[in-house]
């Protein structure tokens, strides 16, 4: 029999991903009594760093966007008073896309980016400017009109040259896990505007600095953060949440429960299959999660004149067929994918490389992890950094299984649900109608848009709850 | 009929924006008054299409900006569907 603890929380947040932390900070700042329970021993979700000997690696997220003056990440960090507490450097260029015939870069100065694209594709001179202008200042209705469009449809509207379309869409395979033919126009546009036109921000000490700073602030604001604390159930009675169970059965009573874990886990495991409607069960079963990743972590000893610019994300693709690349990635064919993203750390001590990869059994990845790692290293040697092997002091890799194990994201999905047009704006996840005061936040609510995306959702979820609270206060004071 | 459409639309707007139904009036502008942005605008359009089993044409999308405009549009589309 569970014994309710004396003091009930106003809100319990399950998961200390960036979205959970941002949401928690806003709620705590407004005076709510908030607990964040995280199953891992450090906060951050996909935004963490880990050490191996003298090397520090970013685990998955390796930079962030939306940090320009009016960007959402900047807004949240400023509102919460952590702006300036973390030393953040913006790489310039943030991203460079390289194919056998072309190289284009995304610079802090948008004009420089435009000119760079124009030099490679002079015939698309006007379209390049118009396209970036549209992305930076979209009319509020434009994406509603494009709700069923793919990113390919959008690119086709602006450009005639297939090469420029490929160069613009190649990084999205890594940032959103889909080729333009399958990615929604909205998601693709947001990824370009948030990650490529305003990306490349990185805390000097590693990505862990972001969740650490948010955690510190959360505690300063009176919030309680419990690490290595697995929530096992969301308690609900007569259609209203009552709290959460941790471990083997301590009930933590709470007026609101906010889940920063994946939608399947929230509904099927934490709430329980029998508590949810048939329609939602069907939706959960039929919706497609985003692609996972295979990430290589290389600790370097010595320098090479072939090293790329530190901090810049290099997107290499040996061909121009993004559908083929995606098909190979879905099969776990690292060689057939024909590309990678690589990033040398600012201090040139580590290098990470990633490719989209499928969720497969532990056994599969045990048997193939080493092979995939060696294949990526070989490819980087052949295309970007000759004799890289001589500089490698330490190497390891994360498979989709590793990503799942640390974050409990379904199938190690990198970006929540796959960002296809048919899954865009699917309702019912952010605020399920059948359980009062249960909310979801993070990349499983509809849009998977990296750090800036989940920051937005965390902010938005907090605002929705605070608006309700404010209504209550006004009411109780007559 | 119109009242029901209005009630359903207010429920959708409330769900998406997080504002209480009582705060949403016929003239309330989603973008100016309810902090609706591009993703929420898509959610509203998709939810309206699903709820009323209609399809909103491109040129009609900008009309989904206030409750009144949305009710008028939905009534017109439902009427067209009947005929």
The pLDDT of A280-297, averaged and rounded, is 94
User: pLDDT tens across A191-234, in order?
Assistant: 999 999 999 999 999 999 999 999 999 999 999 999 999 999 99
C-alpha distance from residue A160 to each of A60, A106, A125, A148 (Å): 35, 21, 11, 21
**For A141, which of B39, B46, B62 is closest by C-beta distance?**
B62
Tokens at A456, concatenated:
């937005």
The pLDDT of A275-299, averaged and rounded, is 93
Confidence (pTM): 0.94
Share of chain B above pLDDT 90, in %: 70
Q: Where are the domains of chain B?
A: 2-82
Q: Which of A145-149, A277-281, A359-363, A438-442 has the lowest mean pLDDT?
A: A277-281
The answer to whether residue A90 scores a pLDDT higher than 90 is: yes
The pLDDT of A441-446, averaged and rounded, is 88
Q: Give contacts of A471 with chain B, Cβ < 8 Å.
A: 20
- Model confidence at A250, pLDDT cuts 50, 70, 90, reads confident
Three-class SS state of A35? strand
Tell whether B64 is within 8 A of chain A (Cβ): yes
Domains of chain A, first to last = 9-88+206-287+418-476 (3.50.50.60), 92-203+289-407 (3.90.660)
The answer to whether residue A158 scores a pLDDT higher than 70 is: yes
Residues of chain B with pLDDT under 70: none
Share of chain A above pLDDT 90, in %: 87
Q: Give contacts of A468 with chain B, Cβ < 8 Å.
A: 18, 20
Test B20 with A471 for CB contact under 8 angstroms. Answer: yes
| CA gap A49, A387 in Å, rounded | 27
* A378 phi and psi angles, rounded to 5 deg: -60, -45
| CA gap A442, A30 in Å, rounded | 20
ipTM comes to 0.90
The answer to whether residue A473 scores a pLDDT higher than 70 is: no
Considering chain A, what is the average pLDDT of its residues?
A: 93
Tell whether B15 is within 8 A of chain A (Cβ): yes
Q: How many helices (H) and strands (E) does chain A have?
A: 16, 18
Question: Which pLDDT value is given to residue B38?
Answer: 87
Question: Which pLDDT value is given to residue A32?
Answer: 97
* A170 phi and psi angles, rounded to 5 deg: -55, -45
Question: Which pLDDT value is given to residue A247?
Answer: 84
- Model confidence at A465, pLDDT cuts 50, 70, 90, reads very high
Question: Which pLDDT value is given to residue A2?
Answer: 45
**For B41, which of A144, A446, A471 is closest by C-beta distance?**
A144
- Model confidence at A471, pLDDT cuts 50, 70, 90, reads low
The alpha carbon of residue B77 is apart from the nearest alpha carbon of chain A, in Å, by 17
The rounded Cα A65 to chain-centroid distance in angstroms is: 11
- Model confidence at A447, pLDDT cuts 50, 70, 90, reads low
Tell whether B19 is within 8 A of chain A (Cβ): yes
**For A147, which of B20, B37, B46 is closest by C-beta distance?**
B46
- Model confidence at A477, pLDDT cuts 50, 70, 90, reads very low
**For A425, which of B37, B46, B58 is closest by C-beta distance?**
B46
Question: Which pLDDT value is given to residue A83?
Answer: 85
Q: Give contacts of B58 with chain A, Cβ < 8 Å.
A: 145
Interface of A with B (CB under 8 A): 138, 140-145, 147, 186, 424-427, 431, 433, 446-447, 460, 463-464, 467-468, 471
CATH 1.20.58.220 fits B2-82, yes or no: no
The answer to whether residue A478 scores a pLDDT higher than 50 is: no
C-alpha distance from residue B18 to each of A11, A59, A383, A460 (Å): 17, 34, 50, 9
Test B45 with A431 for CB contact under 8 angstroms. Answer: no
- Model confidence at A474, pLDDT cuts 50, 70, 90, reads very low
- Model confidence at A472, pLDDT cuts 50, 70, 90, reads low
Of A22, A72, A69, the C-alpha closest to A452 is A72
- Model confidence at A448, pLDDT cuts 50, 70, 90, reads low
């Amino acid at each position: 029999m569970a014994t309710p603890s004396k003091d009930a929380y106003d809100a319990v947040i399950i998961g200390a991903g960036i979205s959970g932390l941002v949401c928690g900070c806003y709620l705590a700042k407004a005076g709510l009594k908030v607990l964040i329970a995280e199953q891992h021993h450090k906060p951050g979700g996909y935004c963490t760093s880990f050490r191996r000997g003298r090397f520090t690696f970013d685990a998955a997220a390796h930079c962030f966007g939306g940090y320009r003056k009016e960007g959402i990440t900047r807004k949240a960090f400023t509102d919460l008073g952590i702006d300036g507490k973390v030393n953040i450097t913006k790489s310039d260029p943030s991203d460079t896309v390289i194919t056998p015939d072309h190289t284009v870069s995304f610079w802090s100065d948008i004009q420089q980016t435009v000119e760079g694209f124009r030099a490679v594709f002079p015939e698309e001179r006007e379209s390049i400017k118009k396209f970036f202008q549209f992305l930076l200042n979209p009319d509020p209705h434009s994406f509603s009109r494009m709700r069923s469009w793919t990113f390919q449809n959008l690119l086709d509207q602006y450009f005639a040259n297939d090469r420029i379309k490929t160069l613009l869409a190649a990084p999205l395979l890594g940032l959103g896990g889909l080729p333009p033919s399958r990615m929604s126009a909205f998601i693709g546009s947001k990824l370009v505007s948030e990650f490529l036109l305003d990306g490349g921000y990185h805390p000097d000490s590693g990505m862990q600095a972001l969740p650490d700073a948010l955690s510190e602030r959360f505690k300063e604001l009176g919030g309680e953060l419990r690490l290595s604390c697995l929530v096992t159930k969301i308690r609900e009675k007569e259609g209203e949440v009552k709290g959460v169970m941790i471990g083997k059965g301590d009930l933590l009573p709470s007026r609101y429960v906010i889940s920063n874990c994946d939608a399947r886990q929230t509904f099927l495991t934490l709430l329980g299959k029998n508590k949810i409607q048939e329609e939602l069960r069907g939706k959960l079963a039929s919706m497609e999660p985003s692609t996972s990743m295979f990430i290589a972590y290389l600790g370097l000893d010595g320098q090479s004149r072939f090293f790329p610019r530190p901090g810049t994300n290099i997107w290499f693709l040996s061909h121009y067929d993004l559908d083929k690349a995606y098909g190979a990635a879905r099969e776990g064919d690292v060689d057939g994918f024909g590309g990678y993203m690589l990033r040398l750390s600012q201090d040139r001590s580590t290098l990470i490389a990633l490719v989209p990869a499928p969720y497969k059994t532990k056994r599969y990845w045990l048997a193939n992890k080493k092979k995939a790692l060696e294949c990526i290293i070989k490819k980087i040697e052949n295309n970007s950094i000759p004799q890289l092997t001589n500089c490698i002091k330490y190497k390891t890799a994360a498979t989709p299984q590793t990503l799942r194990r640390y974050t409990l994201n379904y199938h190690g999905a990198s970006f929540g649900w796959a960002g296809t047009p048919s899954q865009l704006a699917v309702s019912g996840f952010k605020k399920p109608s059948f359980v009062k005061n249960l909310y979801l936040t993070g990349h499983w609510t509809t849009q998977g848009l990296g750090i800036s995306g989940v920051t937005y959702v965390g902010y938005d979820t907090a605002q929705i709850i605070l608006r309700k609270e404010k209504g209550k206060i006004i009411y109780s004071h007559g | 009929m119109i009242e029901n459409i209005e009630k359903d639309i207010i429920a959708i707007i409330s769900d998406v924006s997080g504002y209480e139904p009582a705060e949403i009036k016929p003239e309330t502008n989603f973008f100016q008054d309810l902090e609706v942005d591009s993703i929420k605008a898509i959610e509203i359009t998709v939810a309206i299409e699903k709820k009323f089993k209609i399809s909103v044409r491109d040129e009609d999308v900008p009309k989904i900006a206030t409750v009144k405009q949305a009710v008028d549009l939905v009534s017109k589309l439902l009427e067209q569907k009947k005929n």
